[in-house]
A and B are shown apart, each in its own frame.
Chain A
Amino acid sequence: MQLEKISGKLSIATCTLLQVSASVSHAEEWDIDTSFLYYSESDGRISAFEPAIRATIDLEDDESISFMAVVDALTGSTPNGAHKSTVAQTFTNPSGKDSYTVQAGDLPLSDTFRDVRVALSAEWDKPIDRLSSVLMAATISSEIDYTSIGLSGTYKYDMNNKNTTLEAGLAGTFDTINPIGGIPLGLNPMRVGNSDQQREGVDDTRTSYDLMVGVTQIIDRKTLVQFNYTHGSSSGYHNDYNNVLTVIDPLTNQPLTNLWAAPGTNDLPYLFEKRPDSRSKDIFFVRGVRHLTEDVINTSYRLFSDDWGVTSHTLDFKYRYELKGRHYLQPHLRYYTQTAADFYRHNLVQGVDVDVNGVAGTEFASHDYRLAEFDATTVGLKYGLPIGKSSEFSVRGEFMSQSISEATPAGEETPDLNAVILQMNYSFLW
């Protein structure tokens, strides 16, 4: 035997031996993770209450099953896509039932935004042999105008004495959108009341597929690196039927008052948005975890790019600072930036984008701020404390500030968005 330094490889092998064995003792117990999340946007926009529970049981031979339930209760109002104006603006709800008026100088917000989403999911992690396993997952999620079913399968393969894990996964998501009153036809005018809103039908669907490949590599006893690449493509209905764009008069720069060629219709100067009926995206993700003597550094970078012209970068940094007696503090810093979608528009201009009959000359357009160029910074702190030997309570507070970059005339800016997130987490064995 050549004399060489083997202590690094030896410590990794030991880690594998002892880490896995440590979990043997807790069989037949449910690992329960409960959380309650509160999310609140500034200026009375959306608030969300989100209780969630996850229960996992380890079966024989590294097999495990998990069940999850999440309830998401949303209240508040959300921008409807029209921009601020120096005149009061009146809108009809997408259902056609009610109308609401937004005062001059205010950002138009869809005023009644209440919804409850319930999501149930199950995961089954099943080893095939000593080195490989399959993770199967199914999710069903439902809210008033939306139903989604997701199925996924991930194959994991350990090699290199379990220092390297290869993963490949396929996921399919099947969504049905069925708004009250039906789906407004994209790039067609919003109308007063429910009189004769042009609709494409009562519901529509979207199908998405994601293909993921990844590798996780243990570099040494204290360092782990993970790479993931995901390619996704979706087809079907991608619009947000709650969203419109303002059509302005090029002479006054105000929402069009003298509507179309034949006045007297029930049209309002807003067109429902329309997006392409397919989207293809690529995501590259890299993460590094480094254990110091006691503390842990967790850093990740995510690159997202789609064929709508949106490219985003996310940098995430967490530092887990171990206090005495297994208490810990974890500061969190996240920076996100994205470019706008090609069809992101501040508004549509009569005579340029929309003809005298109210027919749009552009194929796609949206003023959804989620498709705008923006960046967002999140700063947070989490505190975790053990309760007994196998339970942990943690509380997390975060502040997010989002700033939209959009060239707009004075008085029409889409305001920045601030939000706070509070989360409590309690996990225990049962």
Chain B
Amino acid sequence: MKELQLNKEENYWHGSFTAMASPCEVLMEVDNEALARKILNAVSDEALRIEHKFSRYREDNEIHVINNAAGKTIQVDKEMARLIDFSDELYRLSEGLFDITSGVLRKVWKFDGSDNVPEPSAVNAVLENVGWHKVKWTNRQLTLQPGMEIDLGGVGKEYAVDRSAQIAKEFTDESVLVNFGGDLATTGERREHGHWSVGRLVTGKENAVTLFQMRRGAIATSGDAHRFLLKEGVRYSHVLNPKTGWSVPDAPHTVSVVAPTCIEAGMLSTMAMLQGDKAEEFLKLQEVEFWID
């Protein structure tokens, strides 16, 4: 059930709702309330549509059909095909580190702050069902081996942010900022200030916030300081390498990246995490603005 809230701030409208298990915000530098409400409605509709369509927790969507196909070939719709195409390209670009079949590793890895590190034999058993190269994908026809699953959660939220920004832009040329749980995009520069002020929590310092002036483009953040395992003094981050099935050693706690779109920002931050201690080196190569904690 969506609950939309719309409030007038000093010089913009502030809309909020909850989707994708995250607080979602829409900041709109428009003058009239009716337009602000229209934009907020359209954006929340889109967020909920994408959540519904790509969530792996539902039983009434295409993802559920795909993940329960038991070896059968499934014909997917156009939008799903584009996201799978994109993920396929990302799999190649990351040389296998970004893999939408890696979600099943969660069955053995539960990042609850405990020392519950899985047995190598358990990891290897699950790893049988991981690997995009084992999937047959042609002409919108997807064939997974029985036991394999796909999870588009790694790109879904960023996709929702960019789509929402696109939709907002269809309503107005004024600046709109879409923020879904820390992944955000703007549609253009603000009239007066030129920028939106975006705060970023500094990991490990609960009250420290760095402020960033965002003129255009998008920011995405990967990582979660609270999701890890600690065993015998070794910290296991929740970032898993789909090729080994193991937690990536020395992964940063969080990475934030600024890019033209939220998807690009999100993919770069995810791939940086997967580089472990080379995250910073990787991001410098990409010539983007970023923060690492």
Contact = CB atoms under 8 A, between A and B. Distances in A.
A365 B28 CA distance: 70
Contact of B260 (A2, A4, A11, A129): A11
Contacts of B93: 6, 9-10, 13
B213 to A, nearest CB: 19
Contact of B287 (A5, A10, A14, A389): A5
B82 A17 contact: yes
Contact of B86 (A4, A17, A325): A17
B79 interface: yes
Interface string B167-193: 100110100000000000000000000
B95 A1 contact: yes
Given A14-B261, A18-B163, A21-B163, A1 B94 contact: yes
A195 interface: no
Contacts, number: 88
B264 A62 contact: no
B85 A7 contact: no
Contacts of B282: 3
Nearest to B260: A11
Given A1-B97, A14-B261, A21 B285 contact: no
Contacts of B79: 21, 24
Given A130-B140, A325-B173, A326-B173, A7 B268 contact: yes
B127 interface: no
B89 A13 contact: yes
Contact of B285 (A5, A10, A11, A22): A5
Interface in B45-80: 78-79
B9 interface: no
A238 to B, nearest CB: 45
B230 interface: no
Interface in A7-32: 7, 9-11, 13-14, 16-18, 20-22, 24-25
Contacts of B140: 129-130
A176 B261 CA distance: 55
A131 B138 CA distance: 10
Nearest to B241: A1
A73 B288 CA distance: 57
A356 B273 CA distance: 93
Contacts of B94: 1, 6
B275 interface: yes
A20 B79 CA distance: 9
Given A7-B268, A18-B261, A22-B166, A2 B95 contact: yes
Interface residues on B, range: 35 or more
A161 interface: yes
A61 interface: yes
B139 interface: yes
B97 A7 contact: no
A389 B171 contact: yes
Interface residues of A, number: 30
Contacts of B286: 5-7
Contact of B281 (A3, A161, A325): A3
A14 to B, nearest CB: 5
Nearest to A325: B173
Nearest to B94: A1
Contact of A389 (B78, B170, B285): B170
Interface in B258-293: 259-261, 263-264, 267-268, 271, 274-275, 278, 281-282, 285-288
B81 interface: yes
A3 B278 CA distance: 8
A389 to B, nearest CB: 6
Contacts of A14: 86, 162, 261, 263-264, 267
Contact of B264 (A7, A61, A326, A389): A7
Interface in B103-155: 138-140
A344 B55 CA distance: 71
Contacts of B281: 3
B228 interface: no
Nearest to B282: A3
B83 interface: yes
Interface of B: 78-79, 81-83, 85-86, 89-90, 93-97, 138-140, 159, 162-163, 166-167, 170-171, 173, 259-261, 263-264, 267-268, 271, 274-275, 278, 281-282, 285-288
Given A6-B286, A389-B171, 6 more contacts: A1-B275, A5-B287, A10-B264, A14-B263, A16-B86, A21-B79
Q: Which 10 A-B pairs have the closest CB atoms?
A: A1-B95, A7-B286, A129-B139, A13-B89, A17-B86, A14-B263, A6-B93, A130-B139, A5-B285, A161-B89
